[in-house]
Amino acid sequence: MTLTDLANPTKFLALTARILPWLAAATAVLLAIGLYQSATAPDDYQQGATVKIMFIHVPNAWLSMFVWGVMSVAALGTLVWRHPLADVAQKSAAPIGAAFTFLALVTGSLWGRPMWGTYWEWDARLTSVLILFLMYLGLMALWRAVEDPSRAARAAAVLTLVGAINLPIIKFSVDWWNTLHQGSSVFRIGGPTLDRAFLVPLFVMAIAFTLLFLTLHLAAMRNEILRRRVRSLQMMQADSRAA
């Protein structure tokens, strides 16, 4: 099946019906393994048991940026390739990305209070992630504010691509500025600095959360296609009544 085949919503719905149960099952299994490994991971010599917050904070933080990346590709699909499902993908991903970003901010604060002595600091990393969260909310508001779906899709695509500038700022903020937030310890030149005892559960949780996003995104895309089908059928119904 090619990307062109998926341009057909009917074929896309058939595909999601086949793969959603498998994706959901894989997510549940990996999440269970990840939670078990997180619970049994040793305490860090400095952070103590609060290192366990990292196993949920990092996957949420990674997904907050990954989802915007997915939306940026979908935005290109809307503006450049005019793929019929591109704006469906973009619109469906926004609330999920907003939820992951919210969780990254809150779990980070809950880790920061005992470790830094503060829930919040206006440093470059925290502020740029807060801006990302606000951009998600802005995008969702834009979809609701513009009634014509094709106009909303184009406006949202432009806003998404402009907002993508924030992604490298978030990633490199800890290198470019002197921040309270620590530097990269997983995806860095020279390899991860984390001990294997923490790295393994972190990777399992990151994969589990990524699969969760894919499951929710496909399900939300299916819902959006059905919503548009409802809308077009209601318009047909209104036309037939008027005739």
Partner 1 sequence: MSLGPYASFIVTAYALVALVLVLLIGWVMLDYRSQTQRLRELDASGITRRSGRGATELT
Applying CB under 8 A, which residues contact partner 1? 10, 13-14, 17, 39-40, 43, 48-50, 52-53, 56-57, 60, 95-96, 99, 102-103, 106-107, 110-111, 113-114, 212, 216, 219-220, 222-223, 226-227, 229-230, 233-234, 236-237, 240
Between 8 and 150, CB nearer to partner 1: 8
Cα distance between residue 58 and residue 53, in whole Å: 9
Between 188 and 234, CB nearer to partner 1: 234
Between 52 and 125, CB nearer to partner 1: 52
Q: How far is the CB of 61 from partner 1 (least distance, A)?
A: 12
Cα distance between residue 215 and residue 235, in whole Å: 31
Structure tokens at 161: 């691509």
Q: How far is the CB of 28 from partner 1 (least distance, A)?
A: 11
Whole-angstrom CA distances from 48 to 5, 53, 189, 200 are 51, 11, 27, 18
**C-alpha atoms less than 13 angstroms from C-alpha of 230 in its C-beta half-sphere:** 6
The answer for residues whose C-beta is within 8 angstroms of residue 133's C-beta and 6 or more apart is 64, 98, 101, 102, 105
Q: How far is the CB of 107 from partner 1 (least distance, A)?
A: 5
Q: How far is the CB of 126 from partner 1 (least distance, A)?
A: 16
Q: How far is the CB of 175 from partner 1 (least distance, A)?
A: 26
DSSP conformation class of 8: S
Between 182 and 188, CB nearer to partner 1: 182
CA triplet 195, 199, 204: central angle to 5 degrees? 160
